[in-house]
Amino acid sequence: AQSVTQPDARVTVSEGASLQLRCKYSYSGTPYLFWYVQYPRQGLQLLLKYYSGDPVVQGVNGFEAEFIKSNSSFHLRKASVHWSDSAVYFCAVSANYAQGLTFGLGTRVSVFP
Amino acid sequence: AQTIHQWPVAEIKAVGSPLSLGCTIKGKSSPNLYWYWQATGGTLQQLFYSITVGQVESVVQLNLSASRPKDDQFILSTEKLLLSHSGFYLCAWSLEGVEQYFGPGTRLTVL
């Protein structure tokens, strides 16, 4: 069985600052990894995904993530945040389409002007 | 373009009453479909998945059931609601890829 750990429940950053959200996964095989964002009272939107190949993947709205197999990590980064990036970010892992996604507890990001 | 619609948007129900939540996907043929539950302020827990009409697999037992009566429709239901059923219910779809795309969700309050 797979699991995901997001160690930071809340992160507060100033607008224009950089952001890094941590994610570590546990899975014996090669995982499929995802980052999703959830705005208040809405569903989840896919930010980016990693299947294989280049360990640095680009997503929407300037987000990127790096897969580090030796560390079982898939951290999310953004060079310069905007107030509209305030949301909850979920890291997720999947073994295959049938098993669905296993999510971390999420990190709530607050961006202040 | 594909669209995913969930109904109702929100429900307030009494303990012990029945419930039916729906999800419809348009623009995709034979998608894989999923139900997730999210407690207020919490993470998402997969409840069911379906890869074809008439077939539903349960992942977590929460006194809920699911059915897929049509290729583009996924229904979540129970005959007797519990207080613990309160939360946010999300439907999602996927095709050949593993990534899933989520609907807007239904907020359920059980009193």
CA pseudo-torsion sign B40, B45, B51, B55:
negative
Answer whether residue A96 shows pLDDT above 80.
no
- Region A82-87 average pLDDT: 96
Q: Which residues contact A53 (CB under 8 A, 6 or more apart)?
A: none
Look at residue B11 and tell me whether its pLDDT is greater than 80.
yes
Tell if the CB–CB gap between A97 and B44 is shorter than 8 Å. Answer: no
The answer to whether the Cβ–Cβ distance between B46 and A43 falls below 8 Å is: no
Residue A89: partners with Cβ closer than 8 Å, 6 or more residues away: A6, A21, A35, A36, A37, A38, A47, A76, A106, A107, A109
- In this complex, the residue of A49, A97, A106 whose CB is nearest that of residue B32 is A97
CATH of A3-112, one of 3.40.50.10440, 3.40.50.620, 3.60.15.10, 2.60.40.10: 2.60.40.10
pLDDT band at B1 (very low <50, low <70, confident <90, very high): confident
Please give the full DSSP string across A29-66, using - where no structure is assigned.
Answer: SPPEEEEEEE-TTS-EEEEEEE-SSSSEEE-GGG-EEE
Select from A51, A97, A105, A107 the residue whose CB has the most chain B CBs within 10 Å, as the one to mutate to test that interface: A97
Give the C-alpha separation, A34 to A95, whole Å. 12
Angstroms from B44 CA to nearest CA on chain A: 6
Question: Does residue B81 surpass a pLDDT of 90?
Answer: yes
pLDDT at A41: 84
- Whether A45 sits inside 8 A of B102 (CB atoms) is yes
Quick: pLDDT tens for A9-43: 999 999 999 999 999 999 888 889 999 999 988 89
Task: Convert the pLDDT of each residue in B18-43 to its tens digit.
Answer: 999 999 999 888 899 999 999 988 89
Amino acid at B46: Q
Q: Which CATH fold topology does B3-110 show?
A: Immunoglobulin-like (2.60.40)
What percent of chain B is predicted at pLDDT more than 70?
A: 99
What are the structural domain ranges in chain A?
3-112
pLDDT above 90: residue A6: yes
pLDDT at B63 exceeding the cut of 90: yes
What is the structure's pLDDT at A30? 80
Selecting from A41, A42, A101 the residue whose C-beta is nearest the C-beta of B46 gives A101
The mean per-residue pLDDT over the stretch B93-97 comes to 82
Q: Which residues of B touch A51 (CB under 8 A)?
A: 98
Interface touch B44/A41, C-beta < 8 Å? no
Ordered by start, the domain boundaries in chain B are: 3-110
The pLDDT of residue B33: 94
Rounded CA separation A105/B6 (Å): 24
